[in-house]
Amino acid sequence: MHHIALRPLPGWITRLGSLRLASILKKDPKPMPILVLASLLWGTVPVQSPAPPSHAQVVAAPARAVESDVIRIHRLRVLVEAAEKAQEAEDEKAASARSDEADVLTADWSPELLKQAEVQALLQRLKEVQDQLAAEEAPGAEPGLKAQEEVVSISGDELRAELERVRAAEQGATYDYPIDLNDKVLTWVSLFSTTKRGFMENALGRASMYMPMICQVFAEEGVPSDLAYLAVIESGFRNEAKSRAKAVGMWQFIRSTGRIYGLTADAWVEERRDPIKATRAAARYLKRLYEISGDWYLAASGYNAGPLTLERAIQNVGTRNFWDLARSRWLRTETKNYIPELCAAILVGRNPERYGLNIAMLAPYTYETVTVSSMTSLTVLARYAGTDAGTLKALNPELLRGSTPPGVYQLRVPPGKAMDFLRQLVRLPAGKRLDFKTYVVRKGDTLAKVAKRFKLAQEDLLDANDITAKQFKPGRRVMVPPPAAALEDRDPASRSARTKSSGDRPLPLVSATRRDSVVPQKAEVNPERPSQPGLGLTQAPPLPGRPEPGPPVSPRPLEEATSPTAAKAETSSTLSLRAKPGDTLAKLARAHGVSLSELMRLNPEAVKALHPGDDVRLPGSAAAVPTAPAASVHRVAKSETLASIARKYGVDPKDLKAWNRLKGDRIQVGQRLRLAPR
């Protein structure tokens, strides 16, 4: 397999224009403190201004550095125990929140602290909680095209033929995002027009609806318009998309990042599904990532992997060039595929017909807004707007229920319908605004009992009827709204914010001060610098402000990752094994049914880093991996979950539930579970 690079691949880059980050990286080669990078990312430190005399204050160790290791470990233990208790109580939201806090707490811990046995045991317990939360998500593929497996690049005649096809399709085209026509990119171009053609045609069909709006927002925020095709990779331009990691919407924001960029969520509205607000938030996030990194490839990679993960990879590899990072073990395969996928999506998306794709174009996303003064059913609103409820839902995908939320709301309606709709809405009696079910509170009913019966939160039932908990009494007739489409990512703060504000106003498409002007660049052939004998492949010229390329770095040979099944077979007759790419001690411990702490004790040199080819010693009990549980019954111990018990005995959690006639995943300490069918 040949690695074809179209531009010199830089090593360690020390020049990043006028960014303050450049001086930090140049003067201090150690990893950037997490709090410093976070302050740069979220805007608390102006990255464009010249480095002030008090530069030392920016890179000074955060206050938390003075904490002793004992205090840090204690804080981690408290968070892990809180997450476990929340999970036992089936409070997924609290468990996820405590898990996130633990991740943030340990993000900047030193390797020496992380490899302590006590810390490793806590981290293993934390991972079991996170695995259980992930297992409870609905199964299925990721919503976009984020490939999590390694893709073998085309070579030889196939590569040359694909290159000629791209050259023919892109004659005279200009791009405002840099495109590298190497073997990785050309491989994805080939995939998009062959095996993944159906997905690409559907995604680009939906893109035709939103592209004018996205290009307008990106232009106002100073972001390359070609980055609009990032939504192909993230979600296929679907507002309802949701990943296993609980990323939501067209731009796949997780809850915490979305909140930082102004996207709130509650039982009524999920703004990460709002195409206007989410696009604005995505543009500002991408722009911020570029201001920090100085490179659009790194900005897009940070969007996928997270800026802190990317910065750690940069510090470990010693380069700020994406292609060098992609050849290292410090990025996930999904992130390594991300930039080639994005470049290929731009090439194919700009001229789909030249690649043999048939796109069904949709009408642009256009609308008018009207103010709805109180909660009203979409079916009622549709009747007065001269349209149907499906059309209103398509224009307002952020609405989770079949109504507007309590209070004032700015509703999008089809163009040309606003004035007539307002005239009709004024004459609408208050008693006919809702077509919800009604329920008369009976003697013995409690707010909690009724809310649970209709699968609602207590505050949602009160909001729908504009009453307090004390007013919920026998004999009162209450309106019962439909259950929300997604309640797992609710943000209580946003609910109170809506109550205090005048309503949820959509983010206006107003002009923003651009940091720099993005100049379209032309992709052309450079015969003076072929990257491979016989192939005159080149890159698009760099954007203004993009770091100059440095000398190329030789690629490492790639190996195929091992599977747990293969690893088990390898160790069936020996007490050691050879690590494969992607292996970690925790992964090997799970695959072979051994204790992680015992594996760490036997392999202290592998605690900090495990490299492909390293010998890993296994405990004697792992010489033969059992194919069936030795016991027939298991008694649930403290902190155990259904998923952790299933992993311990090598069975499927679904089978474990079926054998024990469990309706959910909740189990209790001391409960006896069958490990085989009756």
Instruction: Give CA–CA dist 223/494, Å, rounded.
Output: 28
Q: What is the pLDDT of residue 485?
A: 46
**Does residue 87 register a pLDDT over 90?**
no
Whether the CB-CB separation of 375 and 405 falls below 8 Å is answered with: yes
Three-state helix/strand/coil letters over 346-369: HHHHHCHHHHCCCCCCCCCCCCEE
* More confident site: 373 or 147: 373
Residue 128: closest CA among 678, 645, 650: 645
Q: What is the pLDDT of residue 253?
A: 93
How does pLDDT run across 579-637, given as a tens digit for each residue?
A: 777 777 777 877 777 776 677 778 776 766 677 777 788 876 333 333 333 457 888 88
Q: Which two tokens stand for residue 470?
A: 């004390």
Report the SS3 class of residue 370: strand
Class of domain 633-674: alpha beta
* More confident site: 664 or 342: 342
How does pLDDT run across 270-326, given as a tens digit for each residue?
A: 999 999 999 999 999 999 999 999 999 999 999 998 888 899 899 999 999 999 999
Average pLDDT over residues 427-440: 75
Phi-psi region of 193 (alpha: psi -120 to 50; beta: other; left: phi over 0): alpha
What contacts 24+ positions apart, CB below 8 Å, involve 423-428? 424/384, 424/385, 425/370, 425/372, 425/381, 425/384, 428/376, 428/380, 428/384
Q: Which two tokens stand for residue 245?
A: 């990691």
* More confident site: 135 or 573: 135
Which helix (H) or strand (E) element contains residue 173? none
pLDDT band at 38 (very low <50, low <70, confident <90, very high): low
Q: What is the pLDDT of residue 483?
A: 66
The model's pTM is 0.55
List the domain boundaries for the chain: 20-60, 366-431, 633-674
Q: What is the pLDDT of residue 493?
A: 42
**Does residue 671 register a pLDDT over 60?**
yes
The mean pLDDT value of the chain amounts to 74
**Does residue 552 register a pLDDT over 80?**
no
Q: What is the pLDDT of residue 458?
A: 83
pLDDT band at 201 (very low <50, low <70, confident <90, very high): very high
Tell me the H-state helices in 454-550: 458-465, 492-500
Q: What is the pLDDT of residue 640?
A: 82
Burial of 390 (0-12, 13-18, 19+ CB in 10 A): exposed
In degrees rounded to 5, what are phi and psi of residue 479? -90, 135
Query: How big is the CA angle at 330 (ends 324 and 333), to the nearest 5 degrees?
Result: 85
